[in-house]
């Protein structure tokens, strides 16, 4: 198994963790200004072909970096994100910056205030370098339909990054920045993280406030983070969340195994979606020893699918009703077609779906059973070519959008914290392992992820 | 002006208040058993033609009355409702009793537990005598479509009671019981109270828990009370609510006038719905001196109407979707037609309507302005003949359902406490005066109602 710590495209932050960068910054081996200059240069040159960034704020980033350096020199240390360059998905508001939602409707929109998560990012000392490509209005898991064009996968630029936090996945995977913010309504952080070979964390619902984030579906939208490793995601999460997970509470987890403190169950991927067997095998290997295996019952899966679709359709149609009436031609045709269908969902189906979320909570509890963490592939297929909408997995014809969302969306319906970590490569393309926990189980979730990542280090000897 | 304390139909509780009955009980001049026997007899004999009750529990009521008498004799006094016979709308669950929702779908349904409000009613010592007619599934303000037939107005049995708490209005107005529970989604407590000439109180949203009440529209449904006077409603409310309004906090209100402690504004009824000028004049006289007059702006009214319709349609369709699919023929044709329309409401319109409730809160604040209480007729027309669906008011052709709901439904959209008190008679039919307050303003609301009722006493010399 190859460790996907670097794809064919490598940038200044390839193979660098936040810990690593923080040590260099504090030891005087680098400066925030230098890191920021490296990021800006990589975005403008080699990274440009990936279309990971939409708008870059070179002057603002340089200024923020200068302040971060001054503060460190003055003994003011804001913690693990201090001086770290970061990308922000192009539908999270950044005061004074162009934020387009990946849409022609907002081609020249300038945000008037920072989103809550951006304000927290700045307060933690991070340097916002620019906005990263989003699938149009975050309404799609492929990441290949955006007013500014498709984001491209650093492992093969002819392939999609996955989405909707497409540019965030590409930017971190290509080493353009060590950290990016995304949003995840049905998998939009985890899917691009998995297909691009980085880690991505969708926290429990509401754990990072969504104020100032352009909505897709308010009761499913989660703000999340993408970085090289789960440990990096944890550092970023702790800087952004209302209730951080102290790193030492993760450190204090003694054992992750079948009899230890964190019990991991393998969720059979074929019980969620037809899965490429090579993907399933790679994820299963990465998961290591597990305490048992579970399957989602078909009727529960069906209820998850119907519920997700109904909730998202109703809420998304409500967000876009005025634009749909006033300027339908500004939507990408695929989004327009989907929105028009979504606008027809009857209210009673939406309300029934909201009620079903209660019932699904009970089904999920039964599924989790004695396990603290469930493990399954993040995405059942490899990154498809840009524009592909049909593919094949496990011997079946599949719809690409449905496949991309197949393993991830149930955990949005329930608001459970879920993490993807790199699991290996198949045909030179990354595979992600998804780990899912109960709200409140974040320390165990990250302990399980650490176990997976350390297993890969032992296997490949590539990570420090 | 005639005081509508008694219609042409008079029963054992006509002209009796809860205070009055309580004094007699505690002085040994009567017993709960005697009051209950009077109620049961009146329901079975003279009151039968009103179709106010659906199911009567003579044995259970006699037993509860016996216990109430034993307790009083033993010095256990549960307060103002102790020993008081009460009717309960036929969609509020009563353990072991047939509760039909006024529907053929539930013709033989027996409730397995008391609704929260029924449990509280019993805990307060009241004697549940039976279920009162509801418009089918509470889905209509006319009160004349129910599986067991229309309730009839005690002032003229050829006319509707209004609804949906039709039997509760008729039963209290006819003096069959001194107290009844109702529910109010768009006016369903206040409308029958007004058309039948009694008092009715729709508390703030959630103030009396709705657990165990068959839903019509969950975010609009309120549990309320009907009784002879506002003071009686206050006593009942205090026994049922999570946060009672101490009677002495009402007593402590010094003055209700243009410069006093409670400022009452007159809400021009024509700004809400075309109003019979005799109804408007009677209500305006009953309101007495007011501090000023306000009008609802047409665009605000339109937003209230659209919002109410969308919220109620979506939620009601969700409640009945399975029955609509499985056994549409068991619905009354009018309900079926309305449900089928409701089922077509798009989810995005429902969600927009839920958002509009926030905006309407601001509009209502602007409307209330300096006033603590707004006063306006409860219903803009007199009780129409049973079955009527079109009528005339203020020189305009009107839809009866829209007219009945026209003054009351905005306060369900906002969840504001609203009370109707008898205002007088026109053509021998009762007119109600509606008083509306902000949540938290209940003491001022009841003080204003007391002022109105004492004004009528002075005018007519009929009330103690």
Which of B409, B439, B368 minimizes the C-alpha distance to B204? B439
**Facing residue for B318 by CB, picked from A318, A345, A351:** A351
CA–CA dist A53, A383 (Å, integer): 20
Contact B349 A347 (CB under 8 A): yes
Burial class (CB in 10 A: 0-12, 13-18, 19+), B262: buried
pLDDT tens digits for B394-435? 788 999 999 999 999 999 999 999 999 999 999 999 999 999
Contact B318 A344 (CB under 8 A): no
In contact, A337 and A287? CB cutoff 8 Å:
no
CA–CA dist A315, A215 (Å, integer): 9
What residues of chain B lie within 8 A of the CB of A347, using their CB? Answer: 310, 313-315, 317-318, 345-347, 349-350
Angle between helices A347-368 and B347-368 (to 10 degrees): 110
What residues of chain A lie within 8 A of the CB of B306, using their CB? Answer: none
Instruction: Name the helix (H) or strand (E) containing A66.
Output: helix A58-73
B345 touches chain A (CB under 8 A): yes
Q: How confident is the model over A178-187, as a mean pLDDT?
A: 98
Helices (H), B124-196: 166-173, 190-196
Write down the pLDDT at residue A83.
98
SS3 B419: strand
CB pairs under 8 A between A and B: 65
Q: What share of chain A is helix, strand, coil (3-state, %, to 5)?
A: 40, 20, 40
Contact A351 B315 (CB under 8 A): yes
Write down the pLDDT at residue B99.
98
Q: How confident is the model over B287-302, as a mean pLDDT?
A: 96
What residues of chain B lie within 8 A of the CB of A345, using their CB? Answer: 346-348
Which of B245, B263, B265 minimizes the C-alpha distance to B254? B263
**Cα angle for residues A36, A42, A43 (degrees, 5° grid):** 90
B249 in active site: no
**Cα angle for residues B166, B170, B173 (degrees, 5° grid):** 140
Using 50, 70 and 90 to split pLDDT, how confident is the model at A252? Answer: confident
A340 touches chain B (CB under 8 A): no
Which of A191, A196, A234 minimizes the C-alpha distance to A409? A191
Quote the DSSP letter at residue B335. Answer: H
pLDDT tens digits for A194-225? 999 999 999 999 999 999 999 999 999 999 99
Burial class (CB in 10 A: 0-12, 13-18, 19+), A463: middle
CA–CA dist A166, B255 (Å, integer): 66
Chain B, 352-371: which have a CB under 8 Å from a chain A CB?
352, 355
B325 touches chain A (CB under 8 A): no
For chain B, give the percent of residues with pLDDT over 70. Answer: 95
Instruction: With a cut of 60, say whether residue A142 has pLDDT above it.
Output: yes
In contact, A6 and A14? CB cutoff 8 Å:
yes
Helices (H), B296-423: 298-326, 333-342, 347-368, 400-406, 410-414
Using 50, 70 and 90 to split pLDDT, how confident is the model at B458? Answer: low
What residues of chain B lie within 8 A of the CB of A351, using their CB? Answer: 314-315, 318, 350
Q: What tokens appear for B204 in the block?
A: 């703030």
A322 touches chain B (CB under 8 A): no
Looking at the complex, report in whole angstroms how far the Cα of residue B207 sits from the nearest Cα belonging to chain A.
Answer: 23
Write down the pLDDT at residue A253.
73
Instruction: With a cut of 90, say whether residue A143 has pLDDT above it.
Output: yes
Contact A318 B352 (CB under 8 A): yes
In contact, A198 and A169? CB cutoff 8 Å:
yes
In contact, A352 and A302? CB cutoff 8 Å:
no
Q: How confident is the model over B34-40, as a mean pLDDT?
A: 98
Phi and psi dihedrals of B251, rounded to 5?
-60, -35
Angle between helices B298-326 and B333-342 (to 10 degrees): 110
Candidates A146, A164, A165, A217; catalytic one:
A164
SS3 B442: helix
CA–CA dist B379, B430 (Å, integer): 10
Residues 6+ apart with CB under 8 A from B387: B144, B150, B160
Contact A351 B313 (CB under 8 A): no
Which parts of A367-451 are beta strand (E)?
A: 373-377, 390-393, 396-399, 418-426, 429-437
Contact A346 B343 (CB under 8 A): yes
Residues 6+ apart with CB under 8 A from A176: A11, A12, A13, A39, A42, A43, A47, A50, A52, A53, A87, A170
pLDDT higher at A104 or A9? A104
CA–CA dist B269, B266 (Å, integer): 9
The count of C-alpha atoms lying within 13 angstroms of the C-alpha of B194, restricted to the half-sphere facing its C-beta, is 38
Write down the pLDDT at residue A318.
98
Looking at the complex, report in whole angstroms how far the Cα of residue A310 sits from the nearest Cα belonging to chain B.
Answer: 9
A350 touches chain B (CB under 8 A): yes
Tell me what the pLDDT averaged over chain A comes to. 94
Which of A409, A410, A424, A419 minimizes the C-alpha distance to A455? A424
Q: What tokens appear for B456 in the block?
A: 């009528």
What residues of chain B lie within 8 A of the CB of A344, using their CB? Answer: 346
Burial call B284-294: b when 16+ CB within 10 Å, e when fewer: bbbbbebbeeb
Instruction: With a cut of 60, say whether residue A3 has pLDDT above it.
Output: no
CA–CA dist A275, B200 (Å, integer): 62
Write down the pLDDT at residue A1.
37
B313 in active site: no
**Facing residue for B344 by CB, picked from A310, A346, A351:** A346
A188 in active site: yes
Residue where the block lists tokens 């440009």: A48
B29 touches chain A (CB under 8 A): no
Looking at the complex, report in whole angstroms how far the Cα of residue A105 sits from the nearest Cα belonging to chain B.
Answer: 20
Which of B256, B255, B279 minimizes the C-alpha distance to B269? B279
pLDDT tens digits for B113-172? 999 999 999 999 999 999 999 999 999 999 999 999 999 999 999 999 999 999 999 999
Instruction: Name the helix (H) or strand (E) containing B226.
Output: strand B222-227
Instruction: Name the helix (H) or strand (E) containing B67.
Output: helix B58-73
Residues 6+ apart with CB under 8 A from B328: B336
- In chain B, whose CA is at the least distance from the CA of A310? B347
Write down the pLDDT at residue A171.
98
Write down the pLDDT at residue A244.
83
Q: What share of chain B is helix, strand, coil (3-state, %, to 5)?
A: 40, 20, 40
In contact, A415 and A360? CB cutoff 8 Å:
no
Burial class (CB in 10 A: 0-12, 13-18, 19+), A71: middle
CA–CA dist B126, B294 (Å, integer): 40
Which parts of A141-184 are beta strand (E)?
A: 152-153, 156-160, 179-184
Which of B73, B9, B17 minimizes the C-alpha distance to B457? B17
In contact, A190 and A434? CB cutoff 8 Å:
yes
SS3 A240: helix
pLDDT tens digits for A410-444? 999 999 999 999 999 999 999 999 999 999 999 99
Contact B346 A344 (CB under 8 A): yes
Provide the CA A424 distance to its chain's centre, in angstroms: 17
A313 touches chain B (CB under 8 A): yes
pLDDT higher at A262 or A250? A262
CA–CA dist B311, A351 (Å, integer): 11
SS3 B345: coil
Q: Is the dihedral of CA B367, B370, B373, B374 positive or negative?
A: negative
B351 touches chain A (CB under 8 A): yes
SS3 A74: coil
For chain A, give the percent of residues with pLDDT over 70. Answer: 95
Write down the pLDDT at residue B259.
41
Write down the pLDDT at residue B6.
46
ipTM value for the complex: 0.90
pLDDT tens digits for B62-108? 999 999 999 999 999 999 999 999 999 999 999 999 999 999 999 99
In contact, A230 and A198? CB cutoff 8 Å:
no
pLDDT tens digits for A61-90? 999 999 999 999 999 999 999 999 999 999
User: Which of B241-255, B276-290, B311-325 has the weakest average pLDDT?
Assistant: B241-255
Contact B351 A318 (CB under 8 A): yes
Using 50, 70 and 90 to split pLDDT, how confident is the model at B464? Answer: very low
Candidates B89, B165, B231, B409; catalytic one:
B89
| CA dist A170 → A9, A97, A121, A134, A152 (Å) | 10, 21, 20, 11, 7
Candidates B165, B168, B188, B409; catalytic one:
B188
**Facing residue for B314 by CB, picked from A310, A344, A347:** A347
Domains defined along chain B, listed by start: 18-300+349-460 (3.90.1300.10)
Instruction: Name the helix (H) or strand (E) containing B184.
Output: strand B179-184
What residues of chain A lie within 8 A of the CB of B317, using their CB? Answer: 346-348
Using 50, 70 and 90 to split pLDDT, how confident is the model at A457? Answer: low
Contact A318 B355 (CB under 8 A): yes
Interface with chain A: mutation pick from B341, B348, B351, B352, highest number of A CBs within 10 Å: B348
Residues 6+ apart with CB under 8 A from B416: B204, B364, B436, B437, B438, B439
Write down the pLDDT at residue A163.
96
Instruction: Name the helix (H) or strand (E) containing B265.
Output: strand B264-267
Instruction: With a cut of 90, say whether residue B353 has pLDDT above it.
Output: yes
Quick count: other Cβ atoms within 10 Å of Cβ B302? 11
Candidates A5, A188, A231, A391; catalytic one:
A188
Write down the pLDDT at residue B260.
55
In contact, A138 and A188? CB cutoff 8 Å:
yes
């Amino acid at each position: 198994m190859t460790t996907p710590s670097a794809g064919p495209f490598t940038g200044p932050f390839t193979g660098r963790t936040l810990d690593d960068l923080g040590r260099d910054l504090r030891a005087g081996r680098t400066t925030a200004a230098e890191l920021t200059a490296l990021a800006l240069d990589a975005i403008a040159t080699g990274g440009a072909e990936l279309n990971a960034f939409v708008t870059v704020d070179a002057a603002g980033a340089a200024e923020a970096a200068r302040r971060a350096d001054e503060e460190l020199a003055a003994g003011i240390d804001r913690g693990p994100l201090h001086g770290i360059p970061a990308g922000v998905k192009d539908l999270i508001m950044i005061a004074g910056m162009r934020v387009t939602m990946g849409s022609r409707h907002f081609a020249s929109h300038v945000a008037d205030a920072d989103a809550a998560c951006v304000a927290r990012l700045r307060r933690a000392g991070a340097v916002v370098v620019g906005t990263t490509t989003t699938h149009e209005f975050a309404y799609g898991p492929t990441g290949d339909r955006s007013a500014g064009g498709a984001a491209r996968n650093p492992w093969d630029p002819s392939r999609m990054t996955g989405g909707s936090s497409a540019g965030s996945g590409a930017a971190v995977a290509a080493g353009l920045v060590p950290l990016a913010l995304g949003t995840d309504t049905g998998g939009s952080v985890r899917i691009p993280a998995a297909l691009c070979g980085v880690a991505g964390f969708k926290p429990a619902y509401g754990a990072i406030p969504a104020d100032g984030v352009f909505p897709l579906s308010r009761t499913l939208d989660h703000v999340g983070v993408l970085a090289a490793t789960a440990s990096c995601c944890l550092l970023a999460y702790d800087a952004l969340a209302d209730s951080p997970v102290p790193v030492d509470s993760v450190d204090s987890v003694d054992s992750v195994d079948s009899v230890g403190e964190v019990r991991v169950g393998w969720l059979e991927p074929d019980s969620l979606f037809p899965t490429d067997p090579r993907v399933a095998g790679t994820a299963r290997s990465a998961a290591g020893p597990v305490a048992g295996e579970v399957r989602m019952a078909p009727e529960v899966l069906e209820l998850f699918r119907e519920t997700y679709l109904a909730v998202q359709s109703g809420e998304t149609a409500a967000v876009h009703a005025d634009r749909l009436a006033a300027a339908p031609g500004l939507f990408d045709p695929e989004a327009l077609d989907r929105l028009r269908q979504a606008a027809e969902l009857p209210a009673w189906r939406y309300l029934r779906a909201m009620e079903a979320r209660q019932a699904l909570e009970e089904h999920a509890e039964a599924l989790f059973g004695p396990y603290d963490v469930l493990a399954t592939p993040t995405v059942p297929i490899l990154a498809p070519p840009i524009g592909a909408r049909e593919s094949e997995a496990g011997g079946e014809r599949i719809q690409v959008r449905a496949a991309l969302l197949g393993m991830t969306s149930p955990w949005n319906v329930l608001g459970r914290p879920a993490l993807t970590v790199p699991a290996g490569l198949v045909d030179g393309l990354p595979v992600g392992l998804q780990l899912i926990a109960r709200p409140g189980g974040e320390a165990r979730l990250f302990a399980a992820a650490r176990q997976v990542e350390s297993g890969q280090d032992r296997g490949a000897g590539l990570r420090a």
